[in-house]
Amino acid sequence: MSILNSAAAVLRCFGAECTELTVMDTVEKLGIPKSNASRLLRAMRDAGLLETIGQTKRFRPGVLVLDAAISYRRSSSLVERAAEAVAKISTATGHTGYVSKLIDTEVAAVTDHPGTHSLRVVSNIGRRLTAHGSGTGRALLALLSDDEVRALFADGIVPPSDLSPQSIDEVLERLAEVRRTGVSFSAQESTRGVDALSVAVRDPETGEAVALCIVWPAALATEEDRKTIETMLLDGAAEVSAALGDRTLRKR
């Protein structure tokens, strides 16, 4: 395996449950000899991908990673605008919101907007969900054709919970509903006690797609609240879409 992939694997270790690494952590997580782990971490630090915490022997991502991440948002007007729209809804409702993307067959949050309610869903950005087994994922899958979805899950699916679709055919049924209503609702599917509503938007110019998503404690919102969130999400998505459409027109 090239050192680049090892480096990427190291970066992948950092997530919700792991914020720093030692040489031995790396040995265990990647299953490589510790001589390599030692050199790998040092090389990554020298390159700026990692930094040592104070004068300890523990490592965490470096500032270089931070700068690049900031640049990411700017590089995509789709993500940028989607983040603004979600931030607005998050502030208005007090619930936590995300902007997410499809990465192969998984969903990854790209920006998060923590809610303000005292009982709120804690932001767990970095956690990956299966595309077929999450509301956000199905919002994004609904942009594809049934054939494309079948091709994507050619190896079959493993439903992450009893509440998720149990077969490709069930997934497609749910997708049909998403296409009809424009929104994807998920009731306590990925996280117990948490409902989520997602709407997908595609940038007509680049083909890139993201989902706007609001999550809330199921106990906290009435049917009416849900309707309100749905309207705000659809309006937000429409605004994003309009802004991107305008841009496309302007360029021609």
Partner DNA sequence: CAGAAAGTTGCAAAAAATGGAACTGCGGTT
Partner DNA sequence: AACCGCAGTTCCATTTTTTGCAACTTTCTG
Where along the sequence are the contacts to its own copies (CB under 8 A)?
Answer: 2-5, 7-8, 11-12, 14-16, 18-20, 43-44, 46-49, 53-56, 60-72, 74-76, 101, 103, 108, 110, 112, 125-126, 203, 205-208
- Binding to DNA by residue 179, rule CB under 7 A? no
Q: Using CB distances below 5 to 8 A depending on partner kind, what does residue 193 bind out of DNA, its own copies, none?
A: none
Half-sphere exposure of 10 (CA within 13 A, CB side): 34
Q: Using CB distances below 5 to 8 A depending on partner kind, what does residue 121 bind out of its own copies, DNA, none?
A: none
Q: Whose Cβ is closer to DNA: residue 37's or residue 229's?
A: 37
**Residue 223 CB, nearest distance to its own copies (Å)?**
33
| CA distances (Å), origin 122, targets 63, 82, 114, 127 | 25, 20, 7, 12
Contact 153, 105 (CB under 8 A): yes
Instruction: Judge residue 237's burial from the number of C-beta atoms within 10 Å of its C-beta, 0-12 exposed, 13-18 middle, 19 or more buried.
Output: buried
Q: Report residue 114 as tokens.
A: 């923590």
Q: Whose Cβ is closer to its own copies: residue 23's or residue 232's?
A: 23
Mapped onto helix, strand or coil, the DSSP state of residue 18 is strand
Q: Using CB distances below 5 to 8 A depending on partner kind, what does residue 32 bind out of DNA, its own copies, none?
A: DNA
Radius of gyration, CA atoms only, the chain: 20
Contact 24, 34 (CB under 8 A): yes
- Binding to DNA by residue 23, rule CB under 7 A? yes
Residues at the contact surface with DNA, assessed by CB under 7 A: 1-4, 6, 22-25, 32-43, 57-58
